[in-house]
Structure 1
Amino acid sequence: MSTPPRKLFGTDGIRGKANQPPMDAGTALRLGQATGRFFNRGSHRHRVVIGKDTRLSGYMLEPALTAGFVGAGMDVMLVGPIPTPAIAMLTRSLRCDLGVMISASHNLFEDNGIKLFGPDGLKLSDVQEAEIEALMDAPNFLESLAAPTKLGRANRLEDAPGRYIETAKASFPKGRSLDGLRIAIDCAHGAAYKVAPTVLWELGAEVVSTGVAPDGFNINRDCGATAPAKLAELVRERRADLGIALDGDADRLVLVDEQGRVIDGDQILATIAGSWHRQGRLVGGGVVATVMSNLGLERHLEGLGLALHRTQVGDRYVGERMREAGCNLGGEQSGHVILSDFGTTGDGLVAALQVLALLVEEKRPASEVCRRFEPLPQRLVNIRFTGASPLGDAEVTAGIAAAGARLGKRGRVLVRASGTEPLIRVMAEAEDEGEMRGTVDELAALIRARAAAGAIRKVGAAE
């Protein structure tokens, strides 16, 4: 059965410019009402936990969502700034019907977003999101909300950060500590600015922190997982053993070795997979990653006798494929790493702790421990278009097929539409960098030409 079309939800919840639809107070109120109505089933008292990152617009969206849930008859627990994986954890541990994270992840402060988690701590499915949208658009929807005697209440849960701190620490091997390690961490002025340095310090590390002074505007600005250059400089300057860069809601990370070189999500997956495989902890005989992960990772895992299961971009889809394949490790090149032994969604801090445990065990530098394979040269180009997608053009389809055939086993081509913008993403990787670049340039030129031709035809038809 096909999934109903969605207008609000993208690959990771709802996202947009703050104070403009759909990230305005009115839409947030309606979303809270509809989602509350959707989950307010059965005779028990229904509860929702709401967290946020540090961007200014969270002060607008949080009360709007709260009003919507209260109006739908749900009790609301507010926890303030806290990582996304903490919301997934709290939703389950507090036996809530729903968890909400207000965050635009790695975007700058001008944007915001809303992520929804079900009672199992998993992100909602495409079908559930489509049903919630349908409720929002339903005629006479307001008549189905709670009666005055059935309204919910809102309160603040003060010990939420402490609960997450203890949960994160519990993922580190018992009897081990980080004594003797100097760790630099960049919290992107985001949701983990308090909890992440605390976890590392309580485990025994000497902690050098940056990105821990949020002001509502500086989240992800030239810092964090999408901009690790300053962290790399700090690692070299302070002679740290490892650098950890989280994004605004701390559900993803990149690492920096002691030489200041960045370690991406593919290398982190390879590092954890190899360690868990040797220990007999890797379940399912493989790892789940997206179509963007480097071919070098796939070849490395094959050399270990492990499979790489690929899925579409989005950590939600990675999680779904992990459950289907019975795997306990998956992630994205961008740094989302899901460790289902410890949580239901990407957790940058817990993933970093798995790598740190390996550094402690092997007593070798990160530059050796975390460089598991040589990635193939890879390049990504984004092409904006208007009107119909050029991917439906016969010449484009033929060009993509021909490029893939030419590369054969020496590389691969991936051309896909963005899930959030009118963009075509053209990616190629190959053993030979020149061949890779030539392939990307050729396909990009073809797609631009066909997109322009389609726009001209559209204008002509309108005239």
Structure 2
Amino acid sequence: MRKYFGTDGIRGQVGKGVITPEFMLKLGWAAGKVFNGQSKNKILIGKDTRISGYMFESALEAGIVAAGADVRLVGPMPTPAIAYLTRTFRACAGIVISASHNPYTDNGIKFFSSEGGKISDELEEEIEYWLDQPMEVVESDKIGKAKRIDDAAGRYIEYCKGTFPIGLRITGLKMVLDCADGATYHVAPRVFSELGADVIVIGASPDGLNINEVSGATKPELLQKNVVAHGADIGIALDGDGDRLILVDKFGKVCDGDDVLYIIANHLSSKGQFSGGVVGTLMTNFGLELALSERGVGFSRANVGDRYVNEKLTQHGWSLGGEPSGHIVCKSITTTGDGIIAALQILQAMLEEGKPLHELLEGLVKFPQKLKNIRVKERFIPSEVPALQKAIAHANERLNGSGRVLLRASGTEPLIRVMVEGRDDELVSDLIDYLSAEVQKVI
């Protein structure tokens, strides 16, 4: 286990632990040491809209230039936009200052490689090595320079629009778009409106403190109300950094990442444009696996986290994967989870098949699944605790082979996540309560 990096970079509460200006200065220097040895020595820095981003942006910039690397600043931008811009600017790395769907009191750092993917375990370990070394500034004539990229948003908007078929028009389609008061606030509305949709925008007035507060992919209630109230055809909710989405159909029903994967895979298969299979995670509903199997589409599970989905896609040579939380990777189009790109794939399916969202989900029957998050002071691995091993065995015995149990430590928050899935909704409810109580006893 690495000292600082979790499953999706470094994340925590602002001012606590390593989420401090001092650490970010050293992190920037360590990243500069690692990446400046390569042939390209520009490092991009982007951020979401939380207020602490200003502080950490300056600290990272100072550390990077102190190591002799140049910096390109893009300001508030979605995480997948940084992945794209890192590639197009031929930078050696990209850094995103974001805590994704967490509240404004948290922040974190994500790294992208020059190819626009998450950096390897080996590079994370190398950065951690330099974090523990004394910081030394390069000679004055070798100090890096910092510049701001003023047209970054426009570049990404055109890229997103370019993934949508030229002859296909969204004119006449009414949508409600929820930007979570996050990094997509100035990007996503333009993408969909410039493609012709009638867009009603909510959650697009960030003030540094309201990111993910009352809206976004983790809080779809406001979106549901607006879709029904406006008689919209679809609702799209992005999270704070724009790398995931949740949909709402015209009746106000929430559609998660499993639904999105089913629609995209089914649509591409019907056009003869899909080969291989779909990568899900340990959290993916078994109903999706069955539905894909009935259509001759392969399925493979990865560990939770979009980096592991990406790794499994590469391993199989497949192009579509994701998580129930809404991280969707369309690898034939982009290199990482992208809420806007995934939403465009759904709109394409609706228009080309001439069906509303709810009809595109016909054939997908999900198993009852419940999830509880239990906050802890210190993370631990549930499978290594004898009492929880016994509880898991008991739960599996009651499921009798017709369901799944998963207890795992979150890689991004101090939480133990408890998931139970089975054919019997009442049994699933009983077991989620039982296992949650056993975790509380351990705590």
Q: For the superposition of Structure 1 and Structure 2, which TM-score range results when normalised by the shorter chain?
A: over 0.9
Are residue 146 (structure 1) and residue 138 (structure 2) matched? yes
TM-aligned CA deviation for residue 6 of structure 1: 1.4
Cα offsets for 1:404-448 (capped at 9, x unmatched): 244244211112223245543221111111121222233334444
Q: Aligned equivalents of 1:386 and 1:251: distance in 2?
A: 27
- Partners of 1:49 and 1:98 within 8 A in 2: yes
- Partners of 1:428 and 1:436 within 8 A in 2: yes
- Partners of 1:269 and 1:330 within 8 A in 2: yes
For structure 2, the 5+ residue unaligned runs are none
Three-state SS of the structure 2 residue aligned to 1:142 is coil
For structure 1, the 5+ residue unaligned runs are 453-463
1:31 pairs with one of 27, 30, 53 = 27
Are residue 281 (structure 1) and residue 277 (structure 2) matched? no
Cα offsets for 1:221-244 (capped at 9, x unmatched): 110111111111111111111111
- Partners of 1:28 and 1:65 within 8 A in 2: yes
- Give the CA RMSD over aligned residues: 1.8
Largest Rg, 1 or 2? 1
- State, as a whole percentage, how many aligned pairs show the same letter: 49
Cα offsets for 1:251-283 (capped at 9, x unmatched): 000011111111111100111011112223223
2:324 pairs with one of 326, 333, 351 = 333
Cα offsets for 1:159-186 (capped at 9, x unmatched): 1111101110111122111111111101
Three-state SS of the structure 1 residue aligned to 2:329 is strand
TM-aligned CA deviation for residue 390 of structure 1: 5.2
Q: Aligned equivalents of 2:303 and 2:76: distance in 1?
A: 29
Q: Aligned equivalents of 2:32 and 2:167: distance in 1?
A: 43
Three-state SS of the structure 2 residue aligned to 1:413 is strand
TM-aligned CA deviation for residue 9 of structure 1: 1.1
Are residue 309 (structure 1) and residue 300 (structure 2) matched? yes
- The aligned residue for residue 333 of structure 2 is 342
Q: Aligned equivalents of 1:177 and 1:269: distance in 2?
A: 23
- Partners of 1:45 and 1:75 within 8 A in 2: no
TM-aligned CA deviation for residue 381 of structure 1: 2.7
What are the within-5 Å matches in structure 2 for residues 9-408 of structure 1? Answer: 9-42=5-38, 44=39, 46-138=41-133, 141-143=134-136, 145-283=137-275, 285-384=276-375, 391-408=383-400
Q: Aligned equivalents of 1:96 and 1:169: distance in 2?
A: 23
Q: Aligned equivalents of 1:372 and 1:112: distance in 2?
A: 40
Q: Alignment length, in residue pairs? A: 442
Three-state SS of the structure 2 residue aligned to 1:287 is strand
Three-state SS of the structure 2 residue aligned to 1:130 is helix
- The aligned residue for residue 2 of structure 2 is 6
Task: Mark the CA change 1:27 to 1:439 in structure 2 (over 3 Å): closer, same or farther.
Answer: same
- Partners of 1:179 and 1:205 within 8 A in 2: yes
What is the TM-score normalised by the length of structure 1? 0.91
Q: Aligned equivalents of 1:437 and 1:252: distance in 2?
A: 27
Cα offsets for 1:111-154 (capped at 9, x unmatched): 1111100111111122321221111102xx323x4221111100
TM-aligned CA deviation for residue 395 of structure 1: 4.4
Three-state SS of the structure 1 residue aligned to 2:135 is helix
Three-state SS of the structure 1 residue aligned to 2:96 is strand
Task: Mark the CA change 1:422 to 1:252 in structure 2 (over 3 Å): closer, same or farther.
Answer: closer
TM-aligned CA deviation for residue 62 of structure 1: 0.5
Q: Aligned equivalents of 1:384 and 1:354: distance in 2?
A: 35
Q: Aligned equivalents of 1:62 and 1:34: distance in 2?
A: 15
Residue range with higher mean Cα deviation, 439-448 or 374-383: 439-448
